[in-house]
């Protein structure tokens, strides 16, 4: 019984240590700057400067709230943004999104 517990604990430890590699991302350069702010992934932010965050609350669809995030990022002078989450609220058709802005 004791050897089973040790084996189970060891197996769990090996499995969890393997998961840590999945959570790490390899830095990727962001695309070239354009006239409009561009959505990028978190792995593309390593060489960029964070300049703030924004939120949007829109009646419509997920694409509508994403368009509002881009409009706000453009207005803030950001070159890039990462959408942290995009979720429908408890009101059907009302979407809330938050993004981090970068230069």
Please check whether residue 5 lies inside any domain of the structure.
no
Whether pTM > 0.85 for this model: the answer is: no
Structural domains of the chain, count: 1
Q: What are the tokens at 20? A: 């840590």
Radius of gyration of the chain (CA): 20
Please check whether residue 71 lies inside any domain of the structure.
yes
Please check whether residue 86 lies inside any domain of the structure.
yes
Q: DSSP states of 66-92 as a string? A: HHHHHHHHHHTT-SEEEEEEEEE-SST
pLDDT in tens, 54-85: 999 999 999 999 999 999 999 999 999 999 99
What is each CA distance from 81 to 4, 15, 21, 68, 102, in whole angstroms? Answer: 49, 34, 25, 12, 6
Q: Is 25 helix (H, G, I), strand (E, B) or coil?
A: coil
Please check whether residue 67 lies inside any domain of the structure.
yes
Please check whether residue 20 lies inside any domain of the structure.
no
pLDDT in tens, 3-43: 656 666 656 656 666 655 555 678 899 999 999 999 999 99
Please check whether residue 68 lies inside any domain of the structure.
yes
């Amino acid at each position: 019984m004791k050897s089973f517990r040790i084996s189970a604990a060891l197996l769990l430890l090996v499995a969890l240590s393997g998961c840590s590699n999945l959570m790490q991302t390899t830095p990727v350069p962001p695309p070239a700057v354009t006239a409009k702010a561009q959505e990028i992934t978190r792995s593309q932010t390593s060489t960029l400067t964070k300049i703030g965050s924004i939120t949007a609350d829109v009646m419509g669809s997920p694409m509508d709230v994403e368009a509002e995030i881009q409009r706000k990022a453009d207005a803030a002078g950001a070159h890039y943004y990462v959408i942290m989450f995009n979720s429908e609220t408890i009101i059907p058709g009302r979407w809330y999104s938050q993004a981090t802005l970068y230069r």
